[in-house]
Structure 1
Amino acid sequence: MSGVLRPAPVFSRRRAGVLLHPTSLPGDKGKLGQQARRFVDFLAQAGMTVWQTLPTGPTHADLSPYQSLSAHAGNPEFIDLAELVSLGLLNADELTCETRKRALEIAASRFLSESWQSTMPDKQDAWRQFLSDHKAWLDDFALFVAIRDAHGGVPWYEWPMPLRHREPRALEAFRGQHQGAIAQVCFEQFAFHLQWQAIRHYARDRGVLLFGDIPIFVAHDSADVWAHPDMFKLDAQGQPLVVAGVPPDYFSPDGQHWGNPLYDWHAMAAEGYRWWIDRLASQQEKFDLLRIDHFRGLQAFWEIPAADARPVNGHWVAGPADAFLSACFEQLPDLPLVAENLGIIGADVEALRQRFSLPGMTVMQFGFDGSPSNPHLLHNHKEHDLVYTGTHDNDTTLGWYQSLDEGTRNHVNQYLRVTGDQIPEQIIQAALGSVSGLVIIPAQDLLGLDSSARFNTPGTVTNNWIWQLPENYPAAARPDDLRAQVNLYGR
């Protein structure tokens, strides 16, 4: 297989990039306008040529991008309202006086009006093309959101039975009564699409590529599970029979209960994995590189009975492995995938990854367990893999270093030849010097921030996903110094 697949263009040369979710950009009027362009300009000035984000779908109330309402849709919270002013869909007073929700409703009403359509024919052509190109998921998603909103935001498996089970007459009646709400959702997805593609072109013109993230599982309360219940292991009421998680290990003595419904891989195989291939294609439309989170779940996944959902009661079940990846690459031969292979990963998972020539990940913070064979140590890095100082689930590198016991801290100092007052700069420099072709640095590390800037703490449900860049980040991160280091290591 390795002789068939070509490396993604991202790996055509050594590169450095930054991990920053768009929600962390400053400002409260949206992210995909001036603030995103400003960040791309900062990356270009610093010599960084990759911008990695977390999943970009609409979230639930907990704000986790890994529990999205859709595997395809964009988060309307990212839409930059000021960009809608420049299109004539809002005026300056509406931008400052209306709520975000009301501003988007005004913009949609104008966009869909006959008078606006006649003055902007190019945008109407793009609108019709967008609806046609994305019909496979957009129709279901728009209907899902409209029904969910009409029922006070309760999950689909608590809707009235006819809507829960997608009875055609019930869906048709709802469409007839809520055309405006459905059109609103479609407009917001169109606005997200236009702004995202504009940023992608802006970034590409400045030598910056976009790197996205795909959670292996999807949320139970999502348009995907509601629209395709036969692709998941559900009972007659739409409740999961089994759920996803991980077994007890060194990092979580009780295991982890994620609660996501598990795929019926036999049903997916019978349809040629079409659901997954469509999902990958829609993300490839947005990104130049894609990471599959929890890649090991394709080799084998931890299945926990819903009736007794303690992780210890789960068991390993074989995943679709080679058959799935072969189907994906047959349909999408240029699919640019990275495998998230962190945690306790067996030889079978690594063999699957290597059969398909997929880059894996190493994390500088994970290297110091005392073993010289630890794959996260610099001398064990591989040219075709990625190296991170830390991930979105880790403490910042400064916070991590400050929390180490004295013995581990001395190990870090000795191995990297650093002292405490050089953290995180020297760890960033070490990562840049790695043989790995792509190094990714969280924005918090570039700014030398401590644990107060941590983005997510797994296993907790408060104070996650809300950190934002300070307004002065372009100067505080010293982009010219960064560029000099990037150039020093041929990135």
Structure 2
Amino acid sequence: MMRSSGVLMHISSLPSPYGIGTLGKEAEKFVDFLVKAEQSYWQVLPICPTSYGDSPYQSFSSFAGNPYFIDLEKLCKEKLLTRKECQSYEWGKDITRVDYGILYVNRYELLHKAFDRFQKNIPEDYEAFCQNQEDWLDDYALFMALKDAHEGAAWSEWEEDLRLRREEALQKAGEDLKEETEFWKVLQYLFYKQWNSLKTYANDKGIRIIGDVPIYVAMDSADVWANPSQFYLDENLVPIDVAGCPPDAFSDDGQLWGNPLFRWDVMEQDDYRWWKKRLDKMSKLFDVVRIDHFRGFESYYAIPFGHKTAKNGEWRKGPGIKLFRSIEKELGRLDIIAEDLGFLTEAVHEMLEESGYPGMKLIQFAFDSREDGDYLPHNYNNNSVVYAGTHDNDTILGWMKTAPRPCVAFAKDYLNLNKDEGYHWGVMRGVWSSVSDTAIVTMQDLLGIGSEGRMNTPSTLGCNWMWRMKPGAVDSKLVRRICKQVELYGRAPKQAGAAE
């Protein structure tokens, strides 16, 4: 694998006059910036619909696209909306933050107007799209229509016939909610049409998209509602144990994620059909798939349902390498990045090595006294992807201000950081100069933004996933500086081409 680099920037963080980043012209402009800056990758967070808490890692479906990302200006060009209609809604007062409360109310009201016009002139390829995606789309659309009919209540609170998916009840719901079900299908058609257009635009210019796939799915999702036998639920479809992480130096209580666990024994019996379907879809949606919490396939942490913290969980064995052997046998060799951060055992290291997938290195962890991992750059191997930080970390400048002084002093000494260069540029220099085949930095760090640019603080609600880049934040000076670094450390695409 040749040396390369890329930028982590979620779709939601792109500039837009309508409250959140979309798949429109600003996304294409970002691709153009990546090309000029001699990058090879654009990494995004999960692009699925967000649920309570606005996290892309807790979604109503692991197959659907987020309707918020549908570009309104493109809908105007297609005569599904007018610019006056788009501008008549409130989208938030701060262009650097997403206001999800306003979006939830106004975006869907506006998209219903687009849906009404869509119904009057249905495109020729719409029916083919629905047929091609029916293995998840029908369940998802009915699930969302039922959620609306139940005023947003989780499916576990619906009446028994619908919770248990009794055929007569599903048929009646499908008839009663036909128009609303169709609305959710149309939104997916519009999303996928725009996503495929953006991906083609990026690929044609030499930019590959890295997509993020959470290991777990949300309990309140079409995934669990439509496939309950695949998850660790009791006879009443209530979780028995749930996912999380044990207490560590970062958290005395651990992390209680609350996602339902997989019934790996059941999944093995049907040769991991659900996982194969999921990764097959994701490998078509993205060029490279980053699997979050990869270590959970070797052993996973199970917490009794109803507990308030993650203190009383236990480790259990997962499917291990046999899952990925089965996937590769059926789907071929997929481009996968294994997120192997956190508490790792020798068995996890062996599974990763046997898979051949590149693992992750996080340079910010290298200087954190609480972190036992081996993240100092002189210990890296080539088959890895190195990050300065991810969506779960503070920005570089934010970390420099808030980390313990001895940790910051160690980073300054090890990376030879100085104010003249800029501390964030010095840390990114450590990323680009490392031996890892691929180096990824966040857009926030390239712009030198402090803690206000942090995307997520784990185990907190109400203040995450909001950061947005200001219009015009990227200029030719920034592009030149990035080019100088990637050329200096042999990561420019033209250098890789010459080496080949």
TM range (shorter): over 0.9
- Partner residue, 2:100: none
Instruction: Report the Cα offset of residue 100 of structure 1.
Output: 2.7
Map of 1:102-181 to 2, 5 A cutoff?
Answer: 102-113=109-120, 116-117=121-122, 123-125=123-125, 127-181=126-180
- 1:209, 1:288 within 8 Å by CA — same for their partners in 2? yes
**CA distance in 1: counterparts of 2:167 and 2:201, whole angstroms:** 43
Check if 1:14 corresponds to 2:14.
no
- Partner residue, 2:213: 214
- Partner residue, 2:276: 277
Check if 1:468 corresponds to 2:477.
no
- Partner residue, 2:410: 411
Residue deviations 1:100-136 (CA, integer Å, cap 9, x gap):
32332222222222xx24xxxxx412x2221111110
Check if 1:313 corresponds to 2:304.
no
Change (3 A) 1:271 1:477: farther
**TM-score, structure 1 as length reference:** 0.93
- Partner residue, 2:457: 457
- 2:249, 2:370 within 8 Å by CA — same for their partners in 1? no
Instruction: Report the Cα offset of residue 237 of structure 1.
Output: 2.6
Residue deviations 1:329-363 (CA, integer Å, cap 9, x gap):
11211311111111111111011011010100011
Code of the residue aligned with 2:454 in structure 1: it is R
- Partner residue, 2:487: 487
Instruction: Report the Cα offset of residue 308 of structure 1.
Output: 3.8
Change (3 A) 1:224 1:396: same
- 1:246, 1:257 within 8 Å by CA — same for their partners in 2? yes
Residue deviations 1:384-440 (CA, integer Å, cap 9, x gap):
100001111001011111223332222112111122452101111121111111110
Map of 1:252-291 to 2, 5 A cutoff?
Answer: 252-291=251-290
- 2:342, 2:373 within 8 Å by CA — same for their partners in 1? no
Code of the residue aligned with 1:130 in structure 2: it is F
Which deviates more from structure 2 when the two are superposed, residues 343-352 or residues 300-309? 300-309
- Partner residue, 1:425: 425
Which deviates more from structure 2 when the two are superposed, residues 256-265 or residues 403-412? 403-412
- 1:446, 1:477 within 8 Å by CA — same for their partners in 2? no
Change (3 A) 1:373 1:31: closer
- Partner residue, 1:38: 29
Which deviates more from structure 2 when the two are superposed, residues 245-254 or residues 349-358? 245-254
Code of the residue aligned with 2:438 in structure 1: it is L
- 2:362, 2:387 within 8 Å by CA — same for their partners in 1? yes
Instruction: Report the Cα offset of residue 45 of structure 1.
Output: 1.2
Q: 2:14 aligns with which of 25, 31, 36?
A: 25
**CA distance in 2: counterparts of 1:416 and 1:110, whole angstroms:** 57
**CA distance in 2: counterparts of 1:478 and 1:91, whole angstroms:** 36
3-state SS of the aligned residue for 1:193?
helix
**TM-score, structure 2 as length reference:** 0.91
- Partner residue, 1:95: 86
Check if 1:79 corresponds to 2:70.
yes
Instruction: Report the Cα offset of residue 270 of structure 1.
Output: 1.0
Change (3 A) 1:128 1:204: same
**CA distance in 2: counterparts of 1:371 and 1:76, whole angstroms:** 39
Instruction: Report the Cα offset of residue 39 of structure 1.
Output: 1.0
**CA distance in 1: counterparts of 2:425 and 2:178, whole angstroms:** 54
**CA distance in 1: counterparts of 2:370 and 2:225, whole angstroms:** 47
Code of the residue aligned with 1:249 in structure 2: it is D
Code of the residue aligned with 2:56 in structure 1: it is P
Which deviates more from structure 2 when the two are superposed, residues 301-310 or residues 252-261? 301-310
**CA distance in 1: counterparts of 2:371 and 2:334, whole angstroms:** 34
Which deviates more from structure 2 when the two are superposed, residues 420-429 or residues 195-204? 420-429
- 1:46, 1:483 within 8 Å by CA — same for their partners in 2? yes
**CA distance in 2: counterparts of 1:262 and 1:318, whole angstroms:** 12
**CA distance in 2: counterparts of 1:89 and 1:424, whole angstroms:** 44
- 2:250, 2:370 within 8 Å by CA — same for their partners in 1? no
Task: Using the aligned pairs only, state the percent identity.
Answer: 40
Shift >6 Å, 4+ stretches: 370-373
Which deviates more from structure 2 when the two are superposed, residues 452-461 or residues 477-486? 477-486
- Partner residue, 2:231: 232
**CA distance in 2: counterparts of 1:182 and 1:106, whole angstroms:** 15
Check if 1:51 corresponds to 2:39.
no
Code of the residue aligned with 1:102 in structure 2: it is E
Code of the residue aligned with 2:10 in structure 1: it is H
3-state SS of the aligned residue for 2:364?
helix
- 1:71, 1:218 within 8 Å by CA — same for their partners in 2? yes
- Partner residue, 1:4: none
Check if 1:437 corresponds to 2:444.
no
Instruction: Report the Cα offset of residue 370 of structure 1.
Output: 6.8
**CA distance in 1: counterparts of 2:286 and 2:70, whole angstroms:** 17
**CA distance in 2: counterparts of 1:169 and 1:162, whole angstroms:** 8
Code of the residue aligned with 1:470 in structure 2: it is K
Which deviates more from structure 2 when the two are superposed, residues 356-365 or residues 80-89? 80-89
Code of the residue aligned with 1:236 in structure 2: it is E
Instruction: Report the Cα offset of residue 165 of structure 1.
Output: 0.9
**CA distance in 1: counterparts of 2:80 and 2:371, whole angstroms:** 60
Instruction: Report the Cα offset of residue 239 of structure 1.
Output: 1.4
Change (3 A) 1:137 1:371: closer
3-state SS of the aligned residue for 1:213?
strand
Code of the residue aligned with 1:82 in structure 2: it is E
**CA distance in 2: counterparts of 1:144 and 1:200, whole angstroms:** 28
Residue deviations 1:283-333 (CA, integer Å, cap 9, x gap):
112101111111111000011111545422111110011221111111211
**CA distance in 2: counterparts of 1:486 and 1:228, whole angstroms:** 46
3-state SS of the aligned residue for 2:289?
strand
Change (3 A) 1:217 1:374: closer
Code of the residue aligned with 1:457 in structure 2: it is T
Instruction: Report the Cα offset of residue 478 of structure 1.
Output: 0.8
- Partner residue, 1:6: none
Which deviates more from structure 2 when the two are superposed, residues 43-52 or residues 372-381? 372-381
- 1:447, 1:476 within 8 Å by CA — same for their partners in 2? no
**CA distance in 2: counterparts of 1:67 and 1:84, whole angstroms:** 27
- 1:70, 1:141 within 8 Å by CA — same for their partners in 2? yes
**CA distance in 2: counterparts of 1:143 and 1:406, whole angstroms:** 53
**CA distance in 1: counterparts of 2:310 and 2:417, whole angstroms:** 40
**CA distance in 2: counterparts of 1:176 and 1:372, whole angstroms:** 55
